[in-house]
């Protein structure tokens, strides 16, 4: 089975999630990059070229995401991961070049990676490590009990306007212990919003506060996308959104 071929460089075996919804089929793999893996990912020439401007952890996460996505496609279709071609759209989102009937999505946050392949729908997946965010963002996104965030032992990145930008730069810093329930709630709803935006082809980060996410709902719809919260992965909320094709 193609699913037995797990890429090297991950901590443990990636978690598989299979989903059949309204005639669509999707496979999501969740994994965490092994910090000691170094260059454990056998990247193809296309991946190397796509990552040419990336360095350090960013490059490692990018290559790991591509590797995990190939295995998600293989899990869904039964082909060899080595035969799966992955490219990048003008928008920066991934595309499956070897099977245009599939839609694919990747998300990574502080070494945690979610990769989804789907047939019969447009798909978006998002994973987010909760981080302290400003009171302005908490209130803007209607997080109950929002209080000003407290930064400890490290300053937040300058110009941070969303948690995805924060995590991409800071990873897991000492102030991570200051994350409370409001920050987790924010990250939990943010993954739903990002997943919906990806499945609908919207610009990420643009007016995502308009996407209503009930705090306790496990699934819902918005703008034609069907979203669901998945089980958290290593402390990170995960969400998946599917938009049926006409």
Residue 117 C-alpha from the chain's centroid: 12
Please give the distance of CA 157 from its chain centroid, rounded to a whole number: 21
How many angstroms separate the CA atoms of 84 and 92, rounded? 18
Between β-strands 15-21 and 112-119, what pairing exists: parallel, antiparallel or unpaired?
unpaired
What are the tokens at 101? 């009937």
pLDDT, position 64 = 87
Mean predicted lDDT score pLDDT of the chain: 79
Q: For residue 56, what pLDDT is reported?
A: 81
- Report the alpha-carbon distance of residue 130 to residue 101 in Å, rounded: 34
Q: How far apart are CA 3 and CA 26, in angstroms?
A: 14
For residues 133 and 166, give the distance between their C-alpha atoms in angstroms, rounded to a whole number.
9
**pLDDT average, residue stretch 167-189:** 66
For the chain, what percent of residues have pLDDT higher than 70?
A: 77
Cα torsion angle, 18, 92, 97, 120, sign: positive
Residue 56 three-state SS: helix
What mean pLDDT do residues 169-182 have? 57
Strand order in the sheet with 102-109: 15-21, 24-32, 112-119, 102-109
pLDDT surpassing 70 at residue 144: no
Condensed to tens digits (0 to 9), the pLDDT of residues 81-119 reads 889 999 988 888 999 999 999 999 999 998 899 999 999
Confidence category of residue 79, pLDDT binned at 50, 70, 90: very high
74-83, 139-148, 203-212, 226-235: segment of lowest average pLDDT:
139-148
Give, for 116, the enclosing helix (H) or strand (E).
strand 112-119
Q: What's the confidence (pLDDT) of residue 155?
A: 34
**What is the per-residue pLDDT across 22-58, written as a single tens digit (0 to 9) for each?**
678 999 999 998 766 545 555 677 777 788 788 888 8
């Amino acid at each position: 089975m193609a699913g037995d071929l797990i890429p090297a460089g991950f901590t443990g075996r990636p978690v598989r999630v299979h989903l059949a919804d309204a005639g669509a089929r999707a496979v999501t793999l969740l994994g965490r990059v092994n910090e000691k893996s170094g260059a454990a990912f056998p990247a193809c020439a296309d991946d190397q070229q796509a990552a040419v401007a990336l360095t350090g952890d960013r490059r490692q996460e990018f290559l790991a995401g591509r590797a995990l996505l190939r295995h998600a496609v293989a899990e869904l279709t039964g082909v060899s991961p080595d035969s799966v071609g992955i490219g990048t759209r003008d928008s920066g989102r991934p595309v499956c070049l070897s099977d245009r009937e599939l839609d694919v999505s990747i998300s990574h946050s502080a070494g945690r990676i979610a990769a989804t392949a789907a047939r019969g729908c447009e798909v978006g997946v998002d994973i987010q490590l909760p981080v302290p965010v400003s009171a302005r963002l908490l209130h803007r996104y209607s997080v109950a009990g929002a209080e000003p965030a407290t930064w400890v032992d490290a300053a937040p990145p300058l110009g941070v306007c969303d948690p995805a930008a924060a995590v991409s730069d800071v990873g897991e810093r000492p102030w991570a212990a200051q994350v409370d329930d409001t920050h987790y709630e924010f990250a939990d709803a943010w993954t739903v919003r990002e997943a919906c935006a990806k499945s609908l082809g919207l610009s990420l980060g643009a007016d995502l506060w308009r996407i209503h996410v009930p705090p306790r709902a496990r699934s819902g719809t918005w703008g034609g996308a069907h979203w669901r919260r998945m089980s958290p992965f290593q402390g990170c909320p995960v969400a998946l959104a599917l938009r049926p094709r006409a």
